[in-house]
Amino acid sequence: MTSKDDEKPLKEYTRAQVEQHCTHDDLWLIFRGKVYNMTPYFNQHPGGLAILRYAGKDVSTVLPYVASHGIAWKIIEKKLEENLIGKLK
């Protein structure tokens, strides 16, 4: 996956900061040490409220499992890349 951190340094966030973004209108995730603001994607997510259970959390073990059950990894990768905002401190 190409990432925006190739273009500029990423802002650093603590786990506690990410955990504060845990609602449907303010939804951040951690994946493999990077932080993603998935708020814009929430209303498009085919699983509806299922994504909300992971709001403010690390999904590093969840996303590969989801991808192995029918969701194309390229779609997941694209959505993550579009919503990258920083890295975990």
Predicted confidence (pLDDT) per residue in 10-56, tens digit:
999 999 999 999 998 999 999 999 999 999 888 777 666 778 899 99
List the CATH number of the domain containing 53.
Answer: 3.10.120.10
pLDDT higher than 60, residue 4: no
Q: Residue written as tokens 């973004």?
A: 21
The dihedral formed by the CA atoms of 63, 75, 84 and 42, expressed in degrees to the nearest 10: -80
Take residue 17 and report the two structure tokens written for it. Answer: 């900061």
Domain total for the chain?
A: 1
Neighbours of 71 (CB within 10 A): 13
pLDDT higher than 50, residue 5: no
pLDDT higher than 80, residue 69: no
Does this model's pTM top 0.75? My answer is yes
Domain extent at residue 74: 4-88
